[in-house]
Amino acid sequence: MGTIYLVRHGQASFGAADYDQLSDKGFVQAEQLGSYWREQGLVFDAVYSGTLKRHQQTLSGLLKGLGSLGVVAATGAALPHTQSRLLNEYDPDALLGALQVTLPKADTPETIRLHFRTLCTAMAQWMDGSISPVGMPAWPEFQGGVMQVLQDIQAQHQGQNVLLVSSGGPIATAVAAVMGAPAEQMIGLNMRIRNTAVTELGITPKRINLHSFNGIPHLAALAERDLVTMT
């Protein structure tokens, strides 16, 4: 049986002009995870990722931490890397814009909570077809794209370890679908995924199974507690 290790990107730049940029803490989180896997002797056979900058930066940090385990053992070449827009995050600005509401700047605990509560409302309406955010696919297309990537990995990487770097939305979508949960369950899962958290899916020729969700063993030590983030 193979395993897909789905990793949410490191902490990005919430509230900044360009969210799609890891913070200094985000880079440390990614390298910490790679170092943890190196210590565990985990070897990957292939890498998949979204095309966003934060995905590529997270992958770079992971590979730095993995060191020599982040290459093909036989040749020393870089691991085969497939980038797919199907693993990119939904557009939160488009979702909120579709609600036609005006929110205060999310720069206090209260306004941040309001931001995410409203985003959850928008996601629910996107999923039931009530709104059509500009520039975004319909929910069935988004969900189908994520599952298509998993099915491609299932077909091509039997018995292998595959690293997949993406965002909370696609990862939560995959978990809800694999569990056979109602689609809206994805929203609750999405809101709980921590930066560089690891979700493991087991793959066989006939099934994809959830093995673990939202794990941060690389940040479990008390000394690393300040590295646990969700943005």
Binding region for substrate: 54
Angle subtended by helix axes 109-127 and 92-99, to nearest 10: 80
Nearest to 89 by CA among 46, 129, 123, 45: 123
Comparing CA positions, the residue from 33, 43, 39 lying closest to residue 70 is: 43
Cα-based angle 154, 218, 172 (whole degrees, multiple of 5) = 45
Closest CA to 88 of 64, 116, 54, 60: 54
Q: CB within 8 A of 42, min separation 6: which ones?
A: 69, 161
Which residue is it, tokens 């770097």? 165
The DSSP secondary-structure symbol of 197 reads -
Helix axes 139-156, 168-179, angle to 10 degrees: 80
Interhelix angle 24-40/53-66, nearest 10 degrees: 40
b/e map 207-217, b = 16+ CB within 10 Å: ebeeeebbbbe
**Secondary structure class of 35 (helix, strand, coil):** helix
